[in-house]
Structure 1
């Protein structure tokens, strides 16, 4: 089941509401990535507390481990990871593409060696739909070929040509039809999204878009961006494609990106985003804040008493202020962790460091999308965008 309501627009920016089998999602929304059935370093309760409405699972990796027999015994991914809100699963296409020399793409599908144990495996549109049906994800993605920006190694290869991008796009288009047919055969009660491809060529994007719209998917994604192309190339495709998708259906920009990318995406008509950036960067000591990015490993933070972001209300920054402690503690709570403390944890390799950094980064992304929704509700998205860029440029 999928129902999408377009509640308000400002320019091409959209405020919507997406109803799925496991709940309602207010859009625009950022979706934390849970590759192996968990968002790294974050308790599910923390995800609820910070306002996560929908998370991702990874079809390829969950197929490898723990496998479909285990997943089926739990009734799907929701029961396995104890998450009662919506889940989106990718098709596995990006992971298969990233295997490089370990895989061979044919019309039928992709032959590859398992990165876990070396077994010879085969992924096709039909297999991807069967796996995702077992996972019981609320949003299922068609199997596509992720068109790379570079063919071969960056040093010795070449930028994907128009002819190469067309071959890839047309293969994804045929796989979309097969994905749709298998999804229907399986009587999957959830929603299947088509994925627009076409590389960095607007006319190919338009061809892909028109073919997918004719297939009448419940929702659409823009894929094949943030795959090594320069930022201006990505922005060109973002400016071209999302707003041309059907207005009455949800639009998803896959694998993007920085806070600035999210705001730019909303301005170009995108409803849904996902990216590993907030969690991966947290583990590497990069903190996203309202006032720019903070490099936690810099020596200047060694004795800094400030929180990561003084304006932030996440557990890492604000602690339990206002919550009474048990067993005779102070009734005013405490005010969160200092930059000095997180710098120390990072330098010592303590696991609490990336956990707190991840909580903050995800809270920042989710809160940013909440502020975007509030701005759209108030008809003030343009003013919000100007303030966002000014604050981010101020620096921490």
Structure 2
């Protein structure tokens, strides 16, 4: 191997480094003044081993200070990225998309506010950037609040905001209208949206001919300002202390109760909407042939094949029980409707059904997350506390022409 100048330089520096270490340890092979001349040991003659140790400690403290500043900068950068991701509608920007529901769309208000518009598969909890704690346990929260370990001598103990978003998502998951495809809009105050009752007409124009007619498009404002939905659940000390399944019990009960109420309000809005076209003659939702006739009536109005069909449980079971005329085999859903979701709700009576494109036609407005509070000693005489849950959620029809109301009996 050819020895170059670089090899010699490195070898010399290695020897000097070894000699310097021996000198610091108290076994100098070369007078310390020589190392001082090379800058290897500062303050020779005035600095002992304790001084060198103090110097190292000083540098270590300076490094810790620098590292803390860098950590703070990284935290600020992470917070900025989260804020940018939320504004852009991509809450998992820079990280894995665990709940891949696609990019969140937004509605832009006249004053520049961006309102998240969530589809069926997207979640409000993914938009949360604070108080995020996947390990939160509602049962433990109630237990801690009741026995006082959260240091709440009296008054309300609140769950984190992120948990309220999780519960809202649980409610949406059990709502028939959302399962049918209805979108969800998160609003931060009274908001006006446009309701389209008539589609525009497009004409094929011939040069110089007067053949373009003004479309009779009707767009009216709809105010979104849902009312408060609330529930009160009494809690005894014995219940919260002795029930290991308290978390599952409360979470399921709250989601089911609120989902039933949201569905009831949404179906009521559909029933009251006179802009939704309906059956001109009797078309029984309990019979598949009548369902096809009703869908044919909707197609005649330039509607698309429905993505979802909602009827009463009685009509749902009656259709499922139909047998082929040849006997012995279930008739089942017609092949033309294979992609149509069949849903049912007790908020509809037998003889009435709704179908259509719910993703464009209907939306849930969420004014606030579900807030859960535990009020201690709310019923002192009975030794009971109170679980209070409240939210502001309501439904609105945005495009009635995308839906159809099937009626067994026409008034």
TM-score interval for Structure 1 and Structure 2 normalised by the shorter chain: under 0.3
Look at both structures and tell me which one has the larger radius of gyration over its CA atoms.
2
Instruction: Return the structure number with greater relative CO, CA threshold 8 A, min gap 6.
Output: 2
Q: Given the two structures, how large is their TM-score scaled by the length of structure 2?
A: 0.22
Q: Given the two structures, how large is their TM-score scaled by the length of structure 1?
A: 0.23
